[in-house]
Amino acid sequence: MKILISPAKSLDFKSTLPTNTHTQPAFLNEAVQLNASLKTKSPAELQKLMHISEKLATLNWERNQQFTTPFTNDNARPAVFAFNGDVYSGLDAYSFSENALDIAQHNLRILSGLYGILKPLDLMQPYRLEMGTSFGLNGHKTLYAFWKDQLTTHLKNELLPSELVVNLASKEYASAIDFDALKTPVIHPVFKDFKNGKLKIISFFAKKARGLMARQLIESNAKTIDDVLMFAADGYSYNELETVDANQPVFVR
């Protein structure tokens, strides 16, 4: 099983790491090229490009200038311990057992605007480049155009015949993969909460639920759709009545 999740805007490069083990990103050369282009942009240009505050633009200009290779434990951090958003709160990789971390390294993939696709222990340096940013390279006008063929081919080559893909990434990041081209079953779980008497997707809760599901699938070394449907955490459970498409199972709380 391959599990896809999104990155996070919030980063943590200070907490004590639970492991010294690390790997290198598959698309580090491409990240270097993208950063070289970003490095030419001023804080004001970054602010306009990314629709962020002046303070954030300055911070990310500094990150772009400080980006350097090779990546080591001294200047970079394993991705799963670097991202610090709602998905990663649910995932809680810091409390993984050694076995769970090994399974995560094999099964979990993090999509990224700068790094393309990351294994949990792949080193990364701090950055901000959302997949939906109107920014490209080598004649590509968008990151989707730059990454889609590369990421789809890479993921396809990693998959065993009929290996299940569970897409827990946001639409912004999942759109960087051509799922039809994978030629394998793909499941897109949906998480809904009752609000004002109606079932709705509430972004904050759905993000955390994606992390919780990823954690359960990793800890159980899940392999099948039945394993996915067994997900039960934080009050969520599979709801067959709300599920219209078997490839988009709905989990309700």
Query: Average pLDDT, whole number, for the chain?
Result: 96
Question: Residue 45's pLDDT band (boundaries 50, 70, 90)?
Answer: very high
In a domain, 58, yes or no: no
Q: Do 30 and 83 touch, CB atoms closer than 8 A?
A: no
Alpha helical stretches, state H, 114-224: 143-158, 171-174, 203-219
> Residue 148 belongs to what domain range?
2-40+70-252
Q: Distance between CA atoms of 158 and 164, rounded to whole angstroms?
A: 12
**CA contacts within 13 A on the Cβ side of 43:** 11
Question: Residue 136's pLDDT band (boundaries 50, 70, 90)?
Answer: confident
Span 164-193, average pLDDT: 97
Nearest in space to 23 (alpha carbons), one of 72, 82, 58: 72
Give tens-digit pLDDT for 172-183. 999 999 999 999
In a domain, 51, yes or no: no
pLDDT for 138: 85
Give tens-digit pLDDT for 199-250. 999 999 999 999 999 999 999 999 999 999 999 999 999 999 999 999 999 9
In a domain, 57, yes or no: no
Question: Residue 197's pLDDT band (boundaries 50, 70, 90)?
Answer: confident
In a domain, 7, yes or no: yes
In a domain, 97, yes or no: yes
Number of domains in the chain: 1
In a domain, 63, yes or no: no
In a domain, 88, yes or no: yes
- The answer to whether residue 84 scores a pLDDT higher than 90 is yes
In a domain, 106, yes or no: yes
